[in-house]
A and B are shown apart, each in its own frame.
Chain A
Amino acid sequence: MSSPNKSALPTHILDEIRELPARYPQPRSAVMPALDLAQEELGHLTPEAMSEVAEALSLDPGYVEGVATFYSLFHHQPIGKHRFYVCTNLSCMLRGANEVVDHLKQAIGVERSDQVSSDGLFSFEEVECLGACEYAPMMRLDHRYFYDLNDQKVDALVAERRGKPVVTAEKPKPKRVPRKKPGG
């Protein structure tokens, strides 16, 4: 990540961003694809990163921040390496989405959307309908959809990402690591 006196975004990302505007009828359309590249690199959008995106696209930093804060897939605080986007809109709620969220919170040891598990691996948020209501309750994780969720499936997804074998007979206890800085 960033270190003093250096830019937040590496040169090759900034170069890539500078090439984006030419792909669109008007250059401004490049702002979201550019923010995507920045977020992919850093995990979330820092003020420095947004300023550098703005500079690379010859836009006002305030403008870029205005766009970045409008859309909920842009994050402005550190998120876990794996973020669970759990749908709790009506069709999913009617099939147990709130219970899935309760279980997930306990499984990853995170209570709120702005927190990250102490090992930096996990965070979550409740999101609106993800357009897969026939598989409710469902969620998005690591650029994939997961369907017909229940406690066991959530446990398995968490365990896989901890790099531990899936325990089926007994629920794996949420790992408690002594507090250290999230991230990394």
Chain B
Amino acid sequence: MAELRGSHGDQAHHILTSLFGTPDLHTLSVYESKGGYTALRKALLDMAPADITNEVKTSGLRGRGGAGFATGTKWSFINRDAPGPKYVVVNADESEPGTAKDRYILENCPHMVVEGILIAAYAVGANQAWVYIRGEYDEPSRMLQAAIEEARAKGYVGPKPFGKDFPLDIRLYRGHGAYICGEETALLESLEGKRAQPRSRPPFPAVKGAWGRPTLLNNVETLATVPAIINRGGAEYAKLGTAKNPGTRLLTVSGNVRKPGVYEVEIGKTFRHVIMELAGGPPEGRVVKVFWPGGSSAPVLPGSMLDMTTDAEALAAAKSMGGSGGVIVMDDSHCIVKAAHRLLQFYAHESCGKCTPCRIGQDWAVRTYERILANEGSQVELDILQRVSDGLQNGRCLCGLGDSGGWVIDSTLRHFREEYEDHALRHECRVGTVAPPALRATSPQVGRT
């Protein structure tokens, strides 16, 4: 494995990462020697399924995949007594630009994820779990598969874990390169062997999910947190973080910082702490110009707002969000218009093509950015960008990918209008050379748009 970049080792607030860095932690024997699988034993032998769900509710844990939905509440939506198969589906598609924390967990401690899955499955009464893992994650897949096999050999995955009559199997399903598969209903379509186009909700996955059956869908980090909650107790976990957003979460800090990495942070700490202290701040002589607080889909905040906290409520008040926890930092040597253009290329490329504002709008935005960057811009282009941005937002699209593209345009325009005007009206760039964007060598998306 590559050198660890991020939190590891015992520190007061480390819940997920305190064991990271232990040699061979990915093996069952080492994980168990450090207290692994005690939460599963406790859940199976000492707790009723409803108690487990209640403990998770008490912890206040909110989903770490992006939407931040209350995890315990989500678990309680599954009717445990409904006859027929039920599934746990794990979202390991991790494709939000700037986010690497699920990979960090899977490579360091795959058994923690396996344990979380087993507890969740027992709580909601599912006998089969599917991990949908992005196709590019070869190493994490191998490690997770190996962990499952070890747990199977030990009897934790199988007909009678710890002697309890609770058969469970965990299987992997590999993705094949499509960001939209991270969206939960698109993921389910893909798992069913279809083009990954989101479904309209309701019905929600808890009622009609994978293969039409009740399904609990959670992110890797969400489930990896569950063993700690069962071990400590929900109330103890809830003492960390803020009242509405308890606990810690993994923030991936990337871009123009001296120490990029995946850092475990108590929710409520400021971005100044995260970016300037943990990640070492921007390179010598540079300042933070802008940062994306929660993956590329989270509206940007200017460097002047570094004292913003990592709490979802505070971020929402600043018109942004905690999202996937991907903190992308850009310093003052880079151009905001070029950065926005690159992200719109991403959203255009990844649009699944199901709804018109997204399929057409994202592409229209890219072409508008291209004109601006080629010095062919004017007030007309700025107006078009604002119009396209509005058209992508506020429920005009079926899923969050549409809004995300709109938010990139809207938030960068809102905070950096002068730089847009430099490019569009005065044909100059305050940080770099003005040159038309080069053609990208991407895979053709014949089947999507």
Contact = CB atoms under 8 A, between A and B. Distances in A.
The secondary structure that dominates the B interface is: loop
Contact of A89 (B97, B256, B448): B97
Given A91-B98, A93-B342, A128-B95, A85 B136 contact: yes
Nearest to B213: A25
A73 interface: yes
A25 to B, nearest CB: 5
Contacts of A33: 174
Name, among B100, B213, B441, the residue most crowded by chain A CB atoms within 10 Å (CB to CB).
Answer: B441
A30 B138 contact: no
B441 A126 contact: yes
A128 B241 CA distance: 32
Contacts of A167: none
Contacts of B342: 88-90, 93
Contact of A129 (B6, B96, B445, B447): B96
B442 A73 contact: no
A91 B96 CA distance: 11
A159 interface: no
A157 B138 CA distance: 19
Interface in B111-165: 128, 134-139
B339 A90 contact: yes
Bin chain A's interface residue count.
Answer: 35 or more
B11 to A, nearest CB: 19
B211 A26 contact: yes
Interface in A25-78: 25-26, 28-33, 35-36, 65-76
Contacts of A128: 95, 97, 179, 346, 349-350
A90 B98 contact: yes
A67 B195 contact: yes
Contacts of A82: none
A147 B2 contact: yes
B102 A67 contact: no
A16 interface: no
B330 interface: yes
Contacts of B253: 134
Interface string B175-201: 111110000000000111111100000
Interface string B259-293: 01110000000000000000000000000000010
Contacts of A130: 136
B102 A131 contact: yes
Contacts of A76: 446
Contacts of A112: 441
Contacts of A113: 441-444
A71 B442 contact: no
A31 B137 CA distance: 20
Interface in B1-20: 2, 5-6
B375 to A, nearest CB: 20
B193 A31 contact: yes
Interface string A96-117: 0010010000000001111000
Nearest to A72: B177
Contacts of B334: 94
B364 interface: no
Interface in B69-89: 85
A140 interface: yes
Given A71-B177, A125-B442, A135-B5, A28 B193 contact: yes
A93 B346 CA distance: 13
A136 to B, nearest CB: 6
Q: 10 nearest interchain CB pairs?
A: A69-B447, A71-B176, A133-B254, A73-B177, A91-B254, A72-B177, A28-B193, A129-B97, A113-B441, A31-B193
19 contacts: A25-B210, A28-B193, A67-B193, A72-B177, A72-B178, A73-B135, A73-B177, A74-B176, A89-B343, A90-B339, A91-B98, A94-B256, A94-B328, A113-B441, A131-B95, A131-B99, A131-B103, A133-B100, A147-B2
Interface of A: 23-26, 28-33, 35-36, 65-76, 85, 88-91, 93-95, 98, 101, 111-114, 124-136, 140, 143-145, 147
